[in-house]
Chain A
Amino acid sequence: VARDRTSPDEFTRPIRRILVAGIVLTLLALFLLWRIDSPRVERFRAALVDRVVPSFDWAMAPITKVAGMVEDFQSYTRIYEQNQELRRELQQMKAWREAALQLEQKNARLLDLNNVRLDPRLTHVTGVVMADSGSPFRQSVLLNVGARDGIRDGWATMDGIGLVGRISGVGQTTSRVILLTDSNSRIPVTVQPSGQKALLSGDNSSAPPLEFLEKQDLVRPGDRVVSSGDGGVFPAGLLVGQVAQGVDGRLRVRLAADYERLEFLRVLRSHESERITEPGALIPPPVLPAVAPDADAAAVVTEEADG
């Protein structure tokens, strides 16, 4: 359709084009700024999320509740089988509990005999999940606790059973948890009976793979995986999950935390571990009594004159 030559579009079009180019360049500049100086932009993002998401809360709560109720209702339909299953599990658990209690007593006795110094007890802050990442390619959730509650970047987050992720991005009243399944998550872990160290690196699948295992032969499917505390970021000994072999033959970890239902999460307060930053200094010899420099120089001159 031929446009009318006298329409105002004819005059505004070049200006428009410049404006479009300007806005595209501005957006790309923002992207580059983020790429270069990520922490500053991420702080801005955390502040924005902190402002926007809590204002959605009034609408989010009822929808989330209704969805939860629908899910619960679906589980009522197979309540009988579940009941049977739970009974069986309870029987097994009772046996395990006895064993665990005995082991705990034994362990305490042995630790006492060896004078082992334990880590100071971890305390935690519990937060409610407000929102998730909203994108299928990023695995993170937003908690309703933030800098106001003393949350800091890097702290470990658990649900009742296992490790869920770490805090990355703290706003005043909200904080973001990068889940272990996110492709940016790398956690040092230990595989339990063999003591092999490895890195658990998320790859956006529900069972993240183990990387940098020294001896793969020592690790078997079913082994327990706990956090190792290497690097000083995470407390050691938090349960992560169990080793399983993926269809591609790689060793993966089936996570212990219930990722289907992340509702309440514990943020563990990690204490700043003391860091040894300096290499050991030289041990100097004891200081000699100082000699007057003039007397020294005079001595040298007389020696030269003699020779």
Chain B
Amino acid sequence: MAEGVPSTVWAYRALFAVLALALLFLRLLPLGSAAGAWPGPDLLMCLTFAWVLRRPDYVPFVLIALVVLLEDLMLMRPPGLWAALMVLGAEFLRSRTSLTRELSFVVVWVLVAGVMAAVVMGNRLVLAVTMLDQASLGQTIIQLVATILCYPVVVFLSRLAFGVRKPAAGEIDAYGRRL
């Protein structure tokens, strides 16, 4: 597979957008998430962080911001807040891609879990400061735990189905730059 050819990169960016829309679509289906039911994982968060750590060029921050902002607007969340936190979390991980290459998967998983927890708690903190009412802490934690547990699955599936993996040492892109 030709790594890093611009058209491939753009294809993956489009794929990310399509996957995000598909996730949004699945959540909007009127199949009834009854009140008080267990909240499922936030798969878009898993997908974003997994891809940022593997191929940062596939998920530019503008794309993350747009996709999550759309999700904010469609899911009746306070618009902009979750998107801003997701961009910050993704940028934090992006600046540590070269570090995470040398770490084992479990350590990276713990790091990602930490970032996810920080994003969720940051969201709650801002909502509390601006005196907006929010979901109960228990449900939020259940969702966070589900999201953290889903992360390896998303990593595995995006590698298996879409071939998103870390570039091997010494791999170069179309311009001869090291990845």
A residues lining the B interface (CB < 8 Å): 1, 3-4, 7-8, 19-20, 23-24, 26-31, 34-35, 41, 45, 48-49, 52-53, 56, 59-60, 63-64, 67, 129-142, 176, 179, 181-184, 202-206, 259-263
Q: Is the CB of B74 within 8 A of A134?
A: yes
Q: Is the CB of B88 within 8 A of A137?
A: no
A4-B177, A60-B28 are known contacts. Are A137 and B139 too (CB-CB below 8 A)? yes
Bound-complex Cα distance A184 to B39 (A): 18
Q: Which residues of chain A have C-beta atoms less than 8 A from B8's C-beta? A: none
Which positions 66-97 of chain B face chain A at CB distance < 8 Å?
A: 69, 73-81, 83-84, 87-88, 91
CB nearest neighbor in B for A202: B35
Bound-complex Cα distance A273 to B77 (A): 33
Q: Is the CB of A27 within 8 A of B65?
A: yes
CB nearest neighbor in B for A261: B32
Q: Does B109 contact A (CB under 8 A)?
A: no
Bound-complex Cα distance A137 to B123 (A): 14
The answer, among B38, B84, B133, for a CB contact under 8 Å with A27, is B84
Q: Does B62 contact A (CB under 8 A)?
A: yes
The answer, among A1, A30, A63, for a CB contact under 8 Å with B101, is A1
Q: Is the CB of A64 within 8 A of B29?
A: yes
Q: Is the CB of B79 within 8 A of A45?
A: yes
Q: Is the CB of B25 within 8 A of A20?
A: no
The answer, among A3, A142, A259, for a CB contact under 8 Å with B32, is A259
Q: Does B161 contact A (CB under 8 A)?
A: no
What is the predominant secondary structure among interface residues of chain B facing chain A? loop
B residues lining the A interface (CB < 8 Å): 24-25, 27-40, 61-62, 65, 69, 73-81, 83-84, 87-88, 91, 98, 101, 126, 130, 132-136, 139-140, 143, 169, 177-178
Q: Is the CB of A131 within 8 A of B79?
A: no
Q: Which residues of chain B have C-beta atoms less than 8 A from A30's C-beta? A: 69, 79-80
A60-B28, A60-B30, A67-B31 are known contacts. Are A204 and B77 too (CB-CB below 8 A)? no
Q: Is the CB of B135 within 8 A of A134?
A: no
Bound-complex Cα distance A209 to B33 (A): 20
The answer, among B36, B76, B140, for a CB contact under 8 Å with A133, is B76
- Starting from the known contacts A4-B178, A48-B73, A135-B75, 4 additional A-B residue pairs (CB-CB under 8 Å) come to A23-B65, A30-B80, A129-B30, A181-B35
CB nearest neighbor in B for A17: B91
Q: Which residues of chain B have C-beta atoms less than 8 A from A202's C-beta? A: 35
Bound-complex Cα distance A132 to B177 (A): 47
Q: Which residues of chain A have C-beta atoms less than 8 A from B32's C-beta? A: 132, 259-262
The answer, among B75, B91, B126, B135, for a CB contact under 8 Å with A20, is B91
Q: Which residues of chain A have C-beta atoms less than 8 A from B140's C-beta? A: 137
A20-B87, A136-B39, A259-B34 are known contacts. Are A53 and B28 too (CB-CB below 8 A)? yes
Bound-complex Cα distance A45 to B80 (A): 12
Q: Which residues of chain B have C-beta atoms less than 8 A from A132's C-beta? A: 28-33
The answer, among B24, B29, B38, for a CB contact under 8 Å with A63, is B29
CB nearest neighbor in A for B31: A67
Bound-complex Cα distance A130 to B98 (A): 45
Bound-complex Cα distance A20 to B62 (A): 8
Of all A-B residue pairs in the complex, the 3 with the closest CB atoms, nearest first, are: A136-B39, A30-B80, A134-B27
CB nearest neighbor in A for B35: A181
The answer, among A31, A63, A204, A259, for a CB contact under 8 Å with B79, is A31
CB nearest neighbor in B for A48: B73
Q: Which residues of chain A have C-beta atoms less than 8 A from B143's C-beta? A: 136
